[in-house]
Amino acid sequence: MSVLVFIDQADGHVKKTVFEALSYGAALAAKLGTTAEGLFLGKAAEELGALGKYGISKIHHVDNETLNHLDAQVFTAVIAQAVSSTNATVVVFSNNLNAKAIAPRLSARLKAGLIAGAVALPDTSSGFNVKKNVFSGKAFANVAVDTPVKIISLNPNSFQVTESGGTAEVVALNLDVPAPKVKVTSVNKVKGEIPLSEAELVISGGRGLKGPENWHLVEDLAKALGAATACSRAVADAHWRPHHEHVGQTGLAIAPNLYFAIGISGAIQHLAGVNRSKVIVVVNKDPEAPFFKAADYGIVGDAFEVMPKIIEAVKKIKG
């Protein structure tokens, strides 16, 4: 019996949300009186043992070229084998796009109960009950799971990252890696931009900015802070910004440390993609804008007057 945490990677680098999943896995293992271990698939571009500081004792590494890029079917097959060879009874993912592709497949394959969008450690006083987000973050549900293997996909920014351990032992795991049914023939990445899904700071603009010619107000602040840029769907639909920047129910769901929204009303469909952000700052000239209800800090004012002052102040602080 152990807790197995999936260590998600991009180009061999561990994604930051994994630190939270590892801390969660370690705390869960302590609660269950067992150990937490990690699982890394593909070539590693960094020293994996250092992840032990998040409280895991061992990392299983399946170093196979086929696993350098995500193929959900192949990853599912390999993780299922890892679960059985490590005797894991709980598998923890960070609830990102990769987990959304893998965890349901793994759940079906292992006949394991899946809690997607967990926001807290399970209550094990009577059974195994986990609190999770439902209705796009508008409500919580407590879900009881009684399958022998359980899968938890943890919503980012739900659990404190804690450094409680030392160095983890990294062990090679030899598993069958099936041939992918789909072959990636090329990848064209957007260059020079911070990927939105990974960004800790996000500056976002809405229709209140009136047109693409005013996007320097978003971009200048993003540049000064080292942030990614995002937008509302209305803006992407109007072709002011590319669709990969659109956040919300039908766009990307993000959970940065800072979400700074300029001229966005805060419609429920927009909030569904950003309400897991740690700190939300809203600039809107309408004091009744719904976004203010979700904001940690709000500025009621005209973005064209407020933003240049904020950008100037940030530039001054950043030197």
Ligand X SMILES: Cc1cc2nc3c(=O)[nH]c(=O)nc-3n(C[C@H](O)[C@H](O)[C@H](O)COP(=O)(O)OP(=O)(O)OC[C@H]3O[C@@H](n4cnc5c(N)ncnc54)[C@H](O)[C@@H]3O)c2cc1C
Residues forming the site for ligand X (CB under 6 A): 206-208, 232-235, 246, 248-251, 263-265, 267, 269-270, 273, 283-286, 289, 302-304
Q: For residues 44 and 267, which CB has a smaller minimum distance to ligand X in the complex?
A: 267
State in angstroms the smallest separation of the CB of 285 from ligand X: 4
Round to whole Å and give the CA distance between 53 and 57: 9
Q: For residues 86 and 232, which CB has a smaller minimum distance to ligand X in the complex?
A: 232
State in angstroms the smallest separation of the CB of 265 from ligand X: 3
* Chain residue whose CB lies nearest ligand X: 248
What is the DSSP-derived secondary structure letter of residue 123? Answer: B
Comparing C-alpha atoms, which of 201, 199, 204, 194 is closest to residue 282?
Answer: 204
State in angstroms the smallest separation of the CB of 51 from ligand X: 33
**What is the DSSP track for 163-200?**
----PPEEEE-----PPPSS------PPTTS--GGG-S
Q: For residues 115 and 217, which CB has a smaller minimum distance to ligand X in the complex?
A: 217
Q: For residues 70 and 268, which CB has a smaller minimum distance to ligand X in the complex?
A: 268
Q: For residues 44 and 268, which CB has a smaller minimum distance to ligand X in the complex?
A: 268
Give exposure, 107-126, as e/b (b: 16+ Cβ within 10 Å). beebebbbbbbbbbbbeeee
Coil vs helix vs strand at 87: coil
State in angstroms the smallest separation of the CB of 199 from ligand X: 17
State in angstroms the smallest separation of the CB of 224 from ligand X: 19
Kindly report the backbone phi and psi dihedral angles of residue 279, in degrees, each rounded to the nearest multiple of 5, phi listed first: -125, 130
Round to whole Å and give the CA distance between 74 and 305: 52
